[in-house]
Structure 1
């Protein structure tokens, strides 16, 4: 069994050596490391070439800067392994990650494995483990009934790393990262995979170290098309749930993401008031948003949402909510 480890690399000269060494140090040896140099302007490309000279399993590709999603998609299309693993250029695989995956897949050749990880808060020198409650294996339908909620709200479905994807499944169904967005595209990719998977396994083991610094995160920046990114993800979630509308806790989750987007937008000094008003009109006239994420017909749920907005001082969104409920 061969694993393809895909790493998008952009100006990562400070961290990429440790990331590569975490793959080279695996106890399981049948792997290839695909380093997609996304137009780096520092020494990242040279480091990738250096390691390729030492180890034939390491394959660097140098491309113009096109973004992380397109780089990952290139990795999918280039991979020759049976299974694909995604690794960020500043994160680490634990030494027995591939061996653990090999044992799991040899016993249960599933389409997707979801594992745990460790969050390393670099500035605070703190570690936090995010791990599933227990090992599990079964059909997609059973997964939706028994494991999906736990893993979704533990943030174990929101990223492509700490997982293994069967390459043939991704190729057969054209599952790719959405290149239009640079936020929420990770969870949307995972949801696409869950929707197409026949068998899924959950591994109550840490296989990945997620390095978190206090600066530079894409999740803390304002994305002008953030609303569209959230709704694109929501639509995929609806497909995963089939005919049934996802339960209210999922609607509240996505509604809170819209709240965060609006709060960020109104805090921007670079966007004039007229453009902000026009953007709010777009949000409140979006048919899917109003029909799905704003379905708060019962008084208790409406009060819950209103109290959340008041605590966040999201007055504009609160006014919009009242306008929708009066219709």
Structure 2
């Protein structure tokens, strides 16, 4: 029976970790291992993870110095031994049928590289769910759509996917970024012409809470700029360069407008500065 390796990074989320692990134990497909990686937490992450690993040998605990989400996921990838890879952050959860539904497709079609399901969103209590802002099963997911439509038309929480391990071989998360690192990985995956199947069932739960990195505007804007800069300078965009910079400019203008009446002048100035820097990068690339 095929093995699924679940990679669960955890930084100061001991409170949420049991929900993630419980959602694994409730899977109808039971042949999985979970690699819990403690990224230098200062809370009870180690105690909680060890309690669960002592009760369930499929849960394997590792600890490392703090290095950020990308380095923690990459650490887990290096430890993985499964035919399939599932990412599951400590504050998220999966529906009990996620593994079974995805495995049945992957095991019956060797050409498939990954299966993506729809998702729901929730606040701190997982049971208080609501519809996601986008329906992935309605999208045509490709390199171009991920490049140009990400965050405006859709985004794919990483735990929506079950990956065949071979499609991730030689890939990893960009450790220089603290946000949008998943977007860059999705680009790399679909640059390989990944074959994907979509399941129109919300089998992943994306949780919002006060500690989430996406709630930190300063953190997000700084890393969004770095991610856009990385793509502009490293991807061979060709004719996509113009629609890409239109997308980038639209993003910054949207958020600049959003903060026009914000008291945080520094944040507005930072966004305005990002717009100027993006235009400078665009001009330099067009003139090459």
Same fold flag (TM > 0.5): yes
Residue 37 of structure 1 aligns with which residue? 38
CA contact (8 A) 1:11 1:40 kept: yes
CA contact (8 A) 2:23 2:93 kept: yes
User: In 1, Cα distance between the equivalents of 2:166 and 2:17?
Assistant: 28
User: In 2, Cα distance between the equivalents of 1:32 and 1:88?
Assistant: 15
User: In 1, Cα distance between the equivalents of 2:57 and 2:70?
Assistant: 26
User: In 2, Cα distance between the equivalents of 1:79 and 1:209?
Assistant: 23
**Which consecutive residues of structure 2, in runs of 5 or more, have no partner in the other structure?**
none
Give the secondary-structure state (helix, strand or coil) at the position aligned to 2:183: helix
Residue 114 of structure 2 aligns with which residue? 112
CA contact (8 A) 1:34 1:61 kept: yes
Report matched runs for 1:286-297 at 5 Å. Answer: 286-287=281-282, 291=286
Cα drift, residue 103 of structure 1: 0.5
> What value does the CA root-mean-square deviation take over the aligned residues?
3.6
User: In 1, Cα distance between the equivalents of 2:277 and 2:151?
Assistant: 28
Cα drift, residue 125 of structure 1: 4.2
Structure with bigger RCO (C-alpha 8 Å, 6+ apart): 2
Residue 127 of structure 1 aligns with which residue? 130
Q: TM-score, normalised by structure 2?
A: 0.81
Q: Deviations over 1:24-77 (max 9, x none)?
A: 111101111010011111111111111111111111101111111100011111
Cα drift, residue 220 of structure 1: 3.6
CA contact (8 A) 1:230 1:257 kept: no
Q: TM-score, normalised by structure 1?
A: 0.72
1:276 and 1:112, CA in 2 relative to 1: closer, same or farther beyond 3 A?
closer
1:29 and 1:176, CA in 2 relative to 1: closer, same or farther beyond 3 A?
same
CA contact (8 A) 1:283 1:289 kept: no
Residue 155 of structure 1 aligns with which residue? 154
1:228 to 226, 229, 238: 226
Matched length: 278
Bigger CA drift: 90-99 or 124-133?
124-133
Cα drift, residue 163 of structure 1: 0.6
Residue 209 of structure 1 aligns with which residue? 205
User: In 1, Cα distance between the equivalents of 2:48 and 2:70?
Assistant: 22
Cα drift, residue 254 of structure 1: 2.2
Cα drift, residue 244 of structure 1: 3.2
Cα drift, residue 120 of structure 1: 1.4
1:103 and 1:288, CA in 2 relative to 1: closer, same or farther beyond 3 A?
farther
Cα drift, residue 121 of structure 1: 3.5
Q: Deviations over 1:207-263 (max 9, x none)?
A: 2111113x3332342133542222224567x54xx6431673x54432233336767
Cα drift, residue 162 of structure 1: 0.3
Residue 259 of structure 1 aligns with which residue? 253
Residue 66 of structure 2 aligns with which residue? 65
1:153 and 1:184, CA in 2 relative to 1: closer, same or farther beyond 3 A?
same
**Which consecutive residues of structure 1, in runs of 5 or more, have no partner in the other structure?**
293-327
Give the secondary-structure state (helix, strand or coil) at the position aligned to 2:9: strand
For the pair shown, which has the larger CA radius of gyration, 1 or 2?
1
Cα drift, residue 23 of structure 1: 0.5
